[in-house]
Amino acid sequence: MIFVMDIGNTNIKAAVFEGKKLLKRWRCATDTSMTSDQYGIIMSDLFRYHELNIRDIEGIMISSVVPTINFTIEHMCRDYFGKESRILVPGMKTGLNIRYENPRELGSDRIANAVAVSTLYGGPSIFIDFGTATTYGVVSDKGEFLGGAIAPGLRMMNRALSSGTAKLPSIELVVPPKVIGKTTVCNIQSGVLYGYIGSVEKIVGAMKAEIGCPQAKVIATGGMAHMVKSNSTVIDEINPDLTLTGLRIIYEKNQA
């Protein structure tokens, strides 16, 4: 079995794979103030709850966009799993030709997503990760990561609006039935949510036009994926385990 972790700005997603089969997955909060022992206890409890033996893990692969927590997690892996973890960095075998001017600027989670999309769906494909930030990526039919776009996430937009104004409240992220709202809350929901969905549609449409493939498949992952898909036709498929699967594939490619 192998253990993979995707460390994001808000959450840490983790999963256990046996071969290609995903056995269990879970998430916990990203907290840079926590110690390796605190994270170790959380992981140990989760393994016990799911009736898995933490010492059966043969290897660990990690992607992280929070460098300040990496040492803590690496320490936790040594103490509680008895294994040295691998953190996804430029230079690892991915099977992708990364067409980025400076590949070191590319977030490791986006690399994992691109690998998973290229392997599972082929190209040309577009992937969208609805996380703290909304990240887009394009994979060609030749297995190339062509680049993408980064935008604020939906929750970040909501927080910015309420914290940056004196009277506007923070709202529940629910799509209102009509664009023309009759209350302040409905007005904000309409502006934030319909505006966000419209930006997703615009970016995807522009990407398809640039690569000259209006039929390019669009794969989504992340917390807001279902909300966008249920209110738009732009997303073809949701894969909640896209990043974790990409990490599993990259681990296997680097076994030799």
Residue 256 pLDDT level (bands cut at 50, 70, 90): low
- The first and second tokens of residue 124, run together, are 């040309």
User: 134 and 61: one domain?
Assistant: no
Per residue in 139-167, pLDDT (tens digit) is 999 989 999 999 998 888 888 888 888 77
Do residue 127 and residue 220 come from a single domain?
yes
- 87 forms beta bridges with 62
Write down the pLDDT at residue 249.
96
Backbone angles phi, psi at 154, to 5 degrees: -65, -45
β-strand partners of 64: 7
CA–CA separation, 73 and 66 (whole Å): 11
Farthest CA pair distance, the chain = 62
Higher local confidence (pLDDT), 72 or 176: 72
Known catalytic membership, residue 109: yes
- Is 98 part of any domain? no
Whether residue 215 is contained in a domain is answered as yes
The residue from 109, 129, 141, 236 that is catalytic is 109
In a domain, 153, yes or no: yes
Asked, for residue 161, whether it belongs to a domain, the answer is yes
99 part of a folded domain: no
- Return the higher-pLDDT residue of 25 and 173: 25
Q: Are residues 221 and 163 in the same domain?
A: yes
Domain count, the chain: 2
Let me know whether 136 and 57 are in one domain: no
- Give yes or no: residues 79 and 133 share one domain: no
Q: What span, in angstroms and rounded, lies between the C-alpha atoms of 147 and 139?
A: 8
Does residue 38 sit in helix, strand or coil? helix
Would residue 228 count as lying in a domain?
Answer: yes
Q: In whole angstroms, how far apart are CA 255 and each of 23, 94, 251?
A: 20, 12, 6
Condensed to tens digits (0 to 9), the pLDDT of residues 35-57 reads: 999 999 999 999 999 999 999 99
Give percent above pLDDT 70 in the chain: 100
Q: Are residues 231 and 140 in the same domain?
A: yes
Tell whether 74 and 144 lie within a shared domain. no
Per the structure, the complete domain to which residue 63 belongs is given by: 2-87
pLDDT in tens, 79-119: 999 999 999 987 889 888 888 888 888 889 999 999 999 99
pLDDT at residue number 200: 96
Q: Which of 232, 240, 167, 162 is nearest to 195 (CA)?
A: 232
Unique residue bearing structure tokens 């190209």: 123
The mean pLDDT value of the chain amounts to 92
Pairing of the two strands 59-64 and 125-130: unpaired
Give the CATH number of the domain where residue 52 resides. Answer: 3.30.420.40
CA 48/CA 54 separation, integer angstroms: 8
Query: Cα–Cα–Cα angle for 256, 114, 126, nearest 5°?
Result: 160
What per-residue confidence (pLDDT) applies to 19? 92
Are both 71 and 134 inside the same structural domain?
Answer: no
Structure confidence by residue, pLDDT tens digits, 197-206:
999 999 999 9
Kindly state whether residue 117 falls inside one of the protein's structural domains. no
- pLDDT of 206-244, one tens digit each? 999 999 999 999 999 998 899 999 999 999 999 999 999
Q: Are residues 83 and 147 in the same domain?
A: no
In a domain, 40, yes or no: yes
The answer on 144 and 80 residing in a single domain is: no
CB 95 within 8 A of CB 144: no
Rounded Cα distance between 169 and 167, Å, is: 6
Q: 126 and 228 share a domain?
A: yes
Band (pLDDT 50/70/90 cuts) for residue 172 is confident
Distances (CA, A) of 160 to 65, 157, 165: 21, 5, 8
Q: Round to whole Å and give the CA distance between 187 and 89.
A: 43
